[in-house]
Amino acid sequence: MSVSAAQKKSDFPHLWDWEVPRAAYVHIPFCRRRCFYCDFPISVLGDRLWGESSGSIVQYVDWLCQEIGATPNSVTLNTGLSSGASLKTIFFGGGTPSLLSPAQVHRILEALAGQFRLDDAPEVSMEMDPGTFTLSQVQGYLQAGVNRISLGSQAFQDDLLQQCGRTHQVKDIYEAVDWVRQAGVQNLSLDLISGLPSQTLAQWTESLQCAIALEPEHLSAYDLVVEPGTVFGKRYEPGEFPLPTDDLAAQMYRTASEVLRAAGYAHYEISNYAKAGYPCAHNQTYWRNGSYYGFGMGATSYLQGQRFSRPRSRVDYAQWLTTYLQQEGRVDCPVTSPSDRLFETLMLGLRCAEGVNLKTLSQQSDRPLLDLFTDVLEPDRIKGWVELTTEGTLRLTDPDGFLFSNSVLVSLWETLSGLE
């Protein structure tokens, strides 16, 4: 191989060369009860059980550690490289991970460290719900290695929280933030939801301002999605009262962007805002369409082009795990096709303010994307939804491009489909 060819390969690894995963998602599927908008794979525990007092949690932690221990720790790349690279990010999502005891979190982290090794300073995030933990619990999680906490606050009005079936009240959010800070957490994220039934623009603005006043390093502002099969899905029709009209939902989105940016948060992804230096590194792996491990009920992993989702029910997950252990961690499922991987990379990359560089992506995918997309995107550029720089970076504008991202993506998808 000539020097220039070797250099080209290292500068622009081919889009189909699967990198070594450096991120791990761990699903903790327990909640006190099910929120009215939630269709996540969870088991409802009620108000009393948590940690070692729950046989279900004890058994699940065993299963998780077995799954982690059976997962191959080195990945042979298409380039011929082989590596058991250490994990840079770990994310305990749920569910309500704060229903685990610190000892259980410690045990899972030990299993991950034993199998994959951890970076010197990994980002270890944990989702927690107000009202489900104490100060000493947070201190225990930190001792176990957690260093980033994402708090499911959702709204700062008790009536809205109650109408969503949340188990916490506004006072619990303040208490939770107080404990998280007392314990020494320096990387705190708050989640908020817009578009709730009967939520007004004034209430949404108030929630944003209350969240800002708590000075989190990171904020996620999600728009409610009404999923079929949920309580909300049975009660309400999207776009009809008491859910907001499309216009009101768009106004809420614009308000979040305006208010949070004015408060010093960078709008770095469609639904995510961060102070300088505090974007969520784990989620950035997803948005860059990188590889990652997934563990637990309903969790998805993306390894060597195989995107694999585990069963979403406890019984089915337990059965699947038995087979997985017998097969020593092998999973057979189709590898993502080149055109799907390309579209996913575009779709996920455009969620981020930094956008995607079409020149680089053209070299990685062997497709002349800049030429293909320039004319197609012209109407969206005139509407002010996209920007295409002279360096070839394509990005959605904030807020209108983010708001109409689906329309932009349809144009890109149709263009790519026409190549097949």
* Interacting residues with ligand SF4 (CB under 6 A): 31, 34-35, 38, 40, 42, 94-96, 129, 152
Query: Minimum distance between the CB of residue 114 and ligand SF4, rounded to whole angstroms?
Result: 28
User: Of 40 and 174, which CB lies nearer to ligand SF4 in the complex structure?
Assistant: 40
Query: Minimum distance between the CB of residue 151 and ligand SF4, rounded to whole angstroms?
Result: 11
User: Of 98 and 203, which CB lies nearer to ligand SF4 in the complex structure?
Assistant: 98
DSSP state of 307: E
Q: Which residue is nearest to ligand SF4 (CB)?
A: 38
CA distance 353 to 396: 7
Look-up of token digits 């590596």: 83
How buried is residue 113: exposed, middle or buried, by Cβ count under 10 Å (0-12/13-18/19+)? middle
CA distance 244 to 23: 37
How buried is residue 46: exposed, middle or buried, by Cβ count under 10 Å (0-12/13-18/19+)? exposed
Query: Minimum distance between the CB of residue 185 and ligand SF4, rounded to whole angstroms?
Result: 20
Please name the amino acid found at residue 351: R
CA distance 409 to 417: 12
Query: Minimum distance between the CB of residue 153 and ligand SF4, rounded to whole angstroms?
Result: 11
Instruction: Locate 351 and state its tokens.
Output: 């969620």
User: Of 140 and 152, which CB lies nearer to ligand SF4 in the complex structure?
Assistant: 152
CA distance 308 to 301: 5
Looking at 183-230, list the stretches that DSSP marks H as alpha helix, in order from N- to C-terminal side.
201-213
Inter-helix orientation angle 314-326/55-70, to 10° = 30
Query: Minimum distance between the CB of residue 195 and ligand SF4, rounded to whole angstroms?
Result: 15
User: Of 21 and 94, which CB lies nearer to ligand SF4 in the complex structure?
Assistant: 94
CA distance 130 to 141: 15
CA distance 159 to 40: 23
Query: Minimum distance between the CB of residue 232 and ligand SF4, rounded to whole angstroms?
Result: 11
User: Of 37 and 385, which CB lies nearer to ligand SF4 in the complex structure?
Assistant: 37
User: Of 44 and 213, which CB lies nearer to ligand SF4 in the complex structure?
Assistant: 44
Query: Minimum distance between the CB of residue 44 and ligand SF4, rounded to whole angstroms?
Result: 8
Query: Minimum distance between the CB of residue 90 and ligand SF4, rounded to whole angstroms?
Result: 18
Q: Look at strands 188-194 and 148-154 and give their pairing.
A: parallel
Query: Minimum distance between the CB of residue 147 and ligand SF4, rounded to whole angstroms?
Result: 22
The helix (run of H) or strand (run of E) holding residue 161 is: helix 158-163
User: Of 129 and 269, which CB lies nearer to ligand SF4 in the complex structure?
Assistant: 129
* Side-chain half-sphere exposure of 244, counting CA atoms within 13 A: 21
DSSP codes joined into one string, 372-401: HHHHHTHHHHHTTSEEE-TT-EEEE-TTHH
User: Of 226 and 377, which CB lies nearer to ligand SF4 in the complex structure?
Assistant: 226
User: Of 128 and 303, which CB lies nearer to ligand SF4 in the complex structure?
Assistant: 128
Query: What radius of gyration, in Å, describes the C-alpha atoms of the chain?
Result: 22
User: Of 94 and 122, which CB lies nearer to ligand SF4 in the complex structure?
Assistant: 94
Query: Minimum distance between the CB of residue 182 and ligand SF4, rounded to whole angstroms?
Result: 23
- Please, are residues 191 and 153 in contact by the beta-carbon 8 Å criterion? yes
CA distance 222 to 412: 24
- Please, are residues 42 and 95 in contact by the beta-carbon 8 Å criterion? yes
